[in-house]
Amino acid sequence: MSTSEITTQNQLERRIDLVISLLDIDKAVEQRLAKRAKTTKMAGFRPGKVPMKIVIQQYGHEARYEAIDLSVRQAFMNAIRDQKLRVAGQPTLEPKEATDPAQMIFTAIFEVYPDVVLSDVSDCEVEKQTFQITDAEVDKVIDTLRQQNTTYSPVDRPAQLKDRVVIDFTGRQNGEVFEGGQGNDYGVLIGGGRMLPAFESALEGMTAKETKTFDLTFPTDYPATHLAGETVQFEITCQSVEAPHLPELDAEFAKTLGISDGDLIKMRQDVRNNLEREVKKRLAARFKNKVMDVLIERHPLDVPRALVEAESSQMAENSMSRLREQGMKTGSLDPVLFADQAIRRIRLGLIMAELVQKHDLHVQADQVRAIIDDYAQSFEDTEEVVNWYYSQPNRLSEAEALALENNVIDWVQTNARVIETLADFDELMGHAT
C-alpha cells in the first residue's frame, strides 16, 4: 500500500489518495479465511474440516471487507503519522478509479486542528470589576429576604400599589372570550410586573366585590400572536384586597434563615458571609469572560467543522437532559442553535491548551482541593461534599478544568493591563431597576 501527496482544500481540510495493492488484499483475505476455516462448524463436517469452497462462500465477502478496511485505515494512519498531522474527527473515504488494475484507490477527506500561534497580550486592557460589601448591602439583602417572606391579609379599603388583589376576570376579543382570557380566584400583586402594566394599573382603587370593565391594548410584540397589537375588553370582579405585611426583624425571622437560636448578630454575619461569597463568584465570572474575550480576539482561529458538529450535538443533548430533569417535556433541539457557543468553546480550548503547554500552567493537586473546599463551604457537611467530589471522577474532572481556567486567567492577569472598575451592586446581583 502507498499514499500520494496530501493536498490542502481550505484552511483545515486535507485530501489524500490511499493506494491499496489488490495482491496484498488477496493475501490478507486468504489468511483470514484460513484462520476462519479452523473453527468453522457445519452439520456433516468435523470442526475445522469444512471445505474451503464453502468457507469462502459463507465468509469470503466479510473477509474481503475487513481486509480492505484494515488496509485503508493503516494507510491513513501511516500518512498522517509521516506528515505529523493532528486529525480532527473521522475521515470521509471516497473510492477513486485506479489506472492500474492491480490497485484500489480511496481518497480520504479530513480536517486537521489549526496551528495556534500565541499572541502577546501585554498591550491588552482587561476590565476587572471590584466591590466591597458594606453594612448597606447587608441591610439591602435582609430587606429583600423580608420582602420574599411577605404575608398578606384582607383590608377594607381600595386597592393600592403593592397590595395583592384576588380577582375573577374575563377577557373578550371582538365579543368572544379568547384563549387564556378567563380566570377565577386569581391573585395579582399590583406593581409586581407579572401582568401587563395597564392591567395592574386598572386594579388600583378597586374594592372587594366591585366589578369594572375596561379596554386594554396588547403590545405589538406580545408572545401570543393572536393578541399582539389587539385591543380587548376585560371584565374584572375583585374578590378581596390584601395588604402586605413584612415580617419583623426579630429572632423568629432569624430562625427562618437557619439561625437556630435566633441571634440577629449571627444572622447578619451569615448574610454577609453568603453575600461576600456570591459577589466574589459573580465578579470572578465576569472577569473570566473578559479574559476569554481577549484571548478570542487575539487568537482568531478556524475551527474544524467536525468538532463544531460534535460539540453542538453534545450541548443540545445536555440542554434537553436539563429540561427533562426539570420535568419539562421536550422532543429534540437543533444543534445548529448551539453552533456559535460551540465554536467559542472549541477556540478557547485550543488557545488555553497551547498556553498551558508553553507557560507550564498545569494544574496542581492543591489547586483542585482549594476549589472543592471553597464549594463545600456552601453546605453543612463540608467533609461529605469533599469526599463526594473525590469519589466521582466526572465531578473531579470539572474541578480540575476550573483550576486550569484559573491558571490561564491568572497568567493573563499578570501579563495584560488590568483596569479595575467599581461594580454596581444592584446590577451585579441582577435586580437593578
| 29/65 Cα distance (integer angstroms) | 9
Q: Are the beta carbons of 304 and 422 closer than 8 angstroms?
A: no
Spatial CB neighbours of 303, under 8 Å, sequence gap ≥ 6: 12, 114, 343, 346, 347, 350
Q: Are the beta carbons of 52 and 58 closer than 8 angstroms?
A: no
Place of cell 490478507: 28
pLDDT for 336-371, tens place per residue?
999 999 999 999 999 999 999 999 999 999 999 999
Classify residue 351 by burial, with Cβ atoms within 10 Å: 0-12, 13-18, 19+. buried
Q: What pTM value is reported for the model?
A: 0.76
Q: What is the pLDDT at residue 279?
A: 96
Distance linking the first and last C-alpha atoms of the chain = 71
pLDDT classification of 433: cutoffs 50, 70, 90: very low
pLDDT for 307-317, tens place per residue?
999 999 999 99
Q: Across all residues in the chain, what is the average pLDDT?
A: 91
What is the biggest distance separating any 2 CA atoms in the chain, rounded to whole angstroms? Answer: 102
Place of cell 437560636: 261
| 122/213 Cα distance (integer angstroms) | 66
pLDDT for 44-56, tens place per residue?
777 778 888 888 8
| 273/257 Cα distance (integer angstroms) | 13
Q: What is the pLDDT at residue 248?
A: 94
pLDDT value at 4 more than 70: no
According to DSSP, the residues that pair with 176 across neighbouring strands are 173
Domains of the chain (ranges; CATH) run: 2-112 (3.30.70.1050), 125-134+253-429 (1.10.3120.10), 150-245 (3.10.50.40)
Q: Are strands 125-130 and 417-422 parallel, antiparallel or unpaired?
A: parallel
pLDDT for 15-61, tens place per residue?
999 999 999 999 999 898 888 888 888 777 777 788 888 888 888 99
